[in-house]
């Protein structure tokens, strides 16, 4: 069990629907990271950009990109996570992969499809929340539009770290920053949000604005808009646990059951 984790998010433009170039870029960036890195967080759909062409871009769970993540995790002795387009049983998913240093993978399917862009018409939404145990930390990974739905992120599992990966457009970037801080405050947890930069093939513009925030909503690391680079911090669970015990806010949550909206 580690009381500290060194987390890194890679903020960058993405090569449109070109996994080979994207994987090569990220591998170069990861190879330059400090050896004490524990977790690397990549943007949403990091191999393609936010594509609505899954029939052209989908991979299998044992395909090139997931195998690449496992290879990197084993070689660098760290965890790596990001989402990509996965096909299973003739359905397409915006699926988050969390690769452990052992090569083991865990998966989460984006629950809230971004209907404004038609994501719900081509991708199947997820039904289950994932809580990962890594180096004694409990981690809740979520994807982009999930950020707008606090009930789904609600900390009923007593998790320690929220991870959000996104292709969040610059037009709504203020909401990105405010909602990340809100999720941290209401759940008394560290949060990392990793967003992409650049302009995609659909002419949507992204500014990044990736952040790492503590359990009280204070920014502890950030990247300026449009910058290609890393956001990183060493987070300390002892401090978080001390504040949770002192304030007791999580003990006062209302109890209710979440059901899937129709």
Catalytic-residue membership of 144: yes
pTM of the model: 0.96
Which helix (H) or strand (E) segment is 88 a member of? strand 79-88
CATH class of 4-252: alpha beta
Look up 181 and say whether it is catalytic.
no
Task: Report the relative pairing of strands 229-236 and 205-207 from DSSP bridges.
Answer: unpaired
CA distance 156 to 130: 12
110 belongs to the catalytic site: yes
Which of the residues 29, 110, 129, 181 is marked catalytic?
110
Candidates 17, 44, 106, 119; catalytic one: 44
The pLDDT of residue 127 is: 93
For the chain, domain boundaries: 4-252
Selecting among 17, 129, 140, 144, the annotated active-site residue is: 144
The residues facing 162 across adjacent strands are: 140, 191
DSSP helix/strand/coil, 129: coil
Q: What is the mean pLDDT of each run of 10 residues along the chain (262 residues)?
A: 94 98 98 97 98 97 98 98 98 98 98 95 97 98 98 96 98 97 98 98 97 98 94 97 96 83 58
């Amino acid at each position: 069990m580690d009381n500290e984790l060194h987390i890194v998010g890679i903020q960058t433009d993405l090569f449109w629907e070109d996994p080979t170039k994207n994987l090569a870029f990220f591998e170069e960036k990861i190879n330059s990271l400090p050896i004490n890195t524990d977790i690397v967080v990549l943007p949403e759909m990091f191999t393609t950009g936010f594509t609505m062409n899954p029939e052209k871009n989908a991979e299998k769970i044992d395909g090139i990109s997931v195998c690449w993540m496992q290879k990197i995790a084993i070689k660098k002795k760290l965890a790596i996570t990001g989402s990509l387009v996965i096909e299973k049983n003739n359905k397409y998913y915006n699926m988050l992969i969390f690769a452990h240093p052992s090569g083991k993978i865990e998966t989460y399917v984006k629950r809230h499809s971004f209907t404004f862009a038609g994501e719900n018409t081509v991708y199947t939404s997820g039904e289950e929340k994932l809580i990962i145990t890594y180096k004694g930390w409990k981690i809740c990974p979520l994807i982009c539009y999930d950020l707008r739905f606090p009930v789904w992120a609600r900390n009923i599992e007593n998790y320690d770290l929220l991870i959000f990966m996104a292709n969040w457009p610059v037009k709504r970037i203020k909401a990105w920053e405010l909602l990340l801080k809100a999720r941290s405050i209401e759940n008394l947890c560290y949060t990392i949000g990793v967003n992409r930069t650049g302009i995609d093939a659909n002419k949507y513009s992204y500014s990044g604005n990736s952040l790492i925030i503590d359990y009280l909503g204070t920014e502890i690391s950030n990247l300026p808009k449009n910058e290609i680079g890393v956001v990183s911090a060493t987070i300390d669970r002892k401090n978080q646990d001390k504040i949770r015990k002192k304030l007791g806010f999580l003990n006062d949550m209302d109890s209710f059951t979440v059901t899937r909206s129709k």
